[in-house]
Amino acid sequence: MQKFNLKGTNVLEYICSLVNYSDEKLTEAQNELYEWIRDYVRDFQHSPSIRQMMSAMGLKSPAPIQSRLKHLQDKGFISWQEGKARTLKLVDEIIDGIPIKGSVAAGGLIETFTDVQENLDITDVCKKKDVFALTVNGDSMIDACIADGDMVLMEPIRDSYSIKNGTIVSAMVPGSGSTLKYFFKRGGKCFLEAANPAYDPIELNLDEVIFQGKLLAVWRKI
């Protein structure tokens, strides 16, 4: 069964940082830490440790630093994985989208792009509540253009009975693991089908599966 790293959220945080739309203001303490982090990253080209932040702020406990970092993240000034200071990234720019510059041929040749035609708006993905990312391990969805090492952005599923046939879902079977597959419902049974003929469909009762989310987008870092 194809499994996922459920902690692989840093790519999603990065994408959403590109479309940061928070206009909340910082408190004096939060701003002091933010400006110090910004200067540190500029000088050393990497994020500081919690201990370094404690020392710079004159604190003896990590709790106030972690609290300030959480507020900075909630307000859209940084992205980070809680408890892992070295994953911290600054959000310095607000953009409206990614420029779409035309088309590129995957068959014959077509006229090349000359200027920006429009922007690819990804704010809707980031604005969806509780969107999360998973790292793909395996090739069972390769024919759906989802390869090993890709990141998939998922929207939580609130009602498993509302899932439409053909939806790509992340599903967890307690005691067995998680998998990314096409969902089909037939005669009261749930079928999780791969996009690779080398993998057999997984047949389960609906009450045996916990549906974590449905596919929104695929992120591939070249």
pLDDT tens string 137-147: 889 999 999 98
For residues 98-104, give the mean pLDDT.
Answer: 52
pLDDT band of residue 118 (cuts 50, 70, 90) is low
User: What CATH fold (topology level) applies to the domain 22-90?
Assistant: Arc Repressor Mutant, subunit A (1.10.10)
What pLDDT does 97 receive?
Answer: 54
For residues 206-216, give the mean pLDDT.
Answer: 87
181 belongs to the catalytic site: yes
What pLDDT does 5 receive?
Answer: 41
Tell me which DSSP letter residue 71 carries.
H
3-state SS record for the chain: CCEEECCCCHHHHHHHHHCCCCCCCCCHHHHHHHHHHHHHHHHHCCCCCHHHHHHHHCCCCHHHHHHHHHHHHHCCCEEEECCEEEEEEECCCCCCCEEECCCCCCCCCCCCCCCCCEEECCHHHHHCCCCEEEEEECCCCHHHCCCCCCEEEEEECCCHHHCCCCCEEEEEECCCEEEEEEEEEECCEEEEECCCCCCCCEEEEHHHCEEEEEEEEEECCC
Mean pLDDT rounded to a whole number for the chain: 77
User: What CATH fold (topology level) applies to the domain 128-219?
Assistant: Umud Fragment, subunit A (2.10.109)
Bigger pLDDT: 80 or 183?
A: 183
Q: Which of 181, 185, 189, 221 is catalytic?
A: 181
Q: Which of 17, 47, 140, 178 is catalytic?
A: 140
What pLDDT does 90 receive?
Answer: 78
Residue ranges, comma separated, of all CATH 1.10.10.10 domains in the chain are 22-90
Q: Where is average pLDDT lowest: 75-84, 117-126, 190-199? A: 117-126
55 pLDDT higher than 90: yes
Residue ranges, comma separated, of all CATH 2.10.109.10 domains in the chain are 128-219
Q: What is the pTM of this model?
A: 0.52
What pLDDT does 156 receive?
Answer: 86
What pLDDT does 116 receive?
Answer: 57
